[in-house]
Structure 1
Amino acid sequence: MTPSVTLHRDGRLATVTLRRPDRRNSFDLAMLARFEEVLHLLGQDTDTDVVVLTGAGSAFCAGTDLDELATLDVATTMAVQRRTADLVERWYRLEQTTVTVFNGPAIGSGAVLGLASDLRVAADSCFFSFPEVTFGIPLTWSGMAILADLVGADRAKRWLLLGERIEPARLRALELVTDVVPVDQLDAARAALSDRLLSVSPVGRSMTKRAARLAGPRFEAAAADSYLGALSVALRPPGDYPKGTAR
């Protein structure tokens, strides 16, 4: 059986692929555990310089699998919310240069994970949406810290409160992605960006990333509020999530 998250190495380049296409690559407990394992492997990897993150199928990632989330008890839900916030921070702090290839829509915390990469490119079928508030819960996974850093706290707050859909042209205009290309050109765009990164000094890239982290998202501040975010998810009335959705 193919793992829900795969890691493929090719020289100094590694590719991490989310593989639950039937659930729009949303995270269940098994997928969360597998991604944590992949992060551990990458953290021990001294041969890889660049890591690409993408999704299988037509979507990038729909965040948390709400159908499974609705079945979890309070203690498990709290633990999951803490683990997913840690997951984003660990991805953000990887020593390697990270690139997200948005092969399709990125919903809620799925968009947050993709935005935690150093560089990003998107297919023209990609859009972002943050519907959590419409479900009566906040955006978790340290989402506000990431969004506020990239687009400003006020714009991020509006996106979340109104559940706005951010289309590809807007993603490009806000420089959330370096390029938006047709789906059939996405592999070429990924290769061009990866090759460009691999052609320059890995030491220069690593030190630049370290310096940028000092001015990046304040995960410590986000962690101070993560308990309340997790609690609001955990205490949501059973069965109150939209059925058949994964965000």
Structure 2
Amino acid sequence: MSSFHKVSVTTAEANDSVARVSLDNEAQHNTLDLRTIQELDDAFMAADRDAEIDAIVLGTTGDVFCSGADLGDLTEMAFEEGTRWMSQYFETIDVLRDTGKPTVAAIEGICAAGGNELAMGCDLIVAGESARFGQPEVGVGSTAAGGGVQLLPLLVGEKRAREMLLLGEMYPASQMQEWGLVNRVVDDGSARDEAVSLANDIVSTKSPQAYRAIKTIMKTWTNIGMVNQEMARDMTAAVWDSEEFRDRAEAFVDREDQTPRSFTGSQPVDGE
């Protein structure tokens, strides 16, 4: 396993075969840059291959789960760099979706944008009662196409997904449980313990063969949404490599008001 700097990985005491993979860069709100994504991928792959590990819990070492991609990182990318970033990101989420081992997200605090997409890659989501979820990319000029656009309609329904994606607001854990994104809401600070307990219950009482089969067959539905990853990758990289995205991302980081732009139609204008 590689050396980790922005992710921590612990396995537990006796009689506990759950790998705890935690985002560990709270000073930067656990934003996702390419190094963090690669470290997550290394951690997930190692847990998948380790015969001593039966389940994976994805969480945080602090009070914030993940506020999404590092905008400073994205604004520096040319198109080809953006495609490589997205390719690595999709591969990392796919390890969670593909492994036959149970995967549970433990969410405390903010779970936004890419953080929400990572959580959706897990089999189950446990959240602290003050946790907040959302896909706010539309406000900063990004696409939410790392899984948000694709998976949310399947999990919460199309109209609710449209609200989350097109308005870009944040929603409390209780509402996300009601809508079907979150499985369990627990006291703040106890999400990881509950997620580990849930994972251990699965490991100790359920059939590994049946679990894998059910998960694999259910993945057929999410694959419908994820089928055009290359299109999502290239469209997102093109958006990142644009003046509009850089302007909006920089204004967001600097806490400045956004400059409105005109929305365009899709039909030819008379005379053109």
Question: Would the TM-score normalized by the shorter structure come out above 0.5?
Answer: yes
Look up the match of 1:8.
10
Residue 208 (structure 1) aligned with residue 217 (structure 2): no
Confirm whether residue 76 of structure 1 aligns to residue 81 of structure 2. Answer: yes
The within-5 A match list for 1:49-198 is: 49-198=54-203
Q: Which has the higher mean CA deviation after the structures are superposed, 68-77 or 155-164?
A: 68-77
RMSD value over aligned CA atoms? 2.1
1:67-103 per-residue CA deviation (whole Å, 9 max, x = no partner) reads: 2222233321222122212322222112211000002
Aligned-pair identity (%): 22
CA distance in 2, matches of 1:101, 1:234: 33
Look up the match of 2:270.
none
Distance 1:143 1:217, change over 3 A: farther
Q: What is the TM-score normalised by the length of structure 2?
A: 0.82
Deviation track 1:10-33 (CA, whole Å, cap 9, x = no partner) reads: 342111101110111111122122
Task: State the match for 1:233 in structure 2.
Answer: 240
SS at match of 1:171: helix
Change (3 A) 1:118 1:109: same
Does the C-alpha gap of structure 1 residues 71 and 216 become closer, same or farther in structure 2, counting only changes over 3 Å? closer
Give SS of 1:216's match.
helix
Aligned residues of 2:7 and 2:21 also touching (Cα < 8 A): yes
1:8 aligned counterpart, secondary structure = strand
Give the count of matched residue pairs: 245
Gaps of at least 5 residues in structure 1 are none
* Unmatched segments (≥5 aa) in structure 2: 256-272
d(CA) in 2 for partners of 1:244 and 1:140?
24
State the TM-score, normalizing by the size of structure 1.
0.90
Rg larger for: 2
- Matches of 1:122 and 1:239 in 2, distance apart? 33
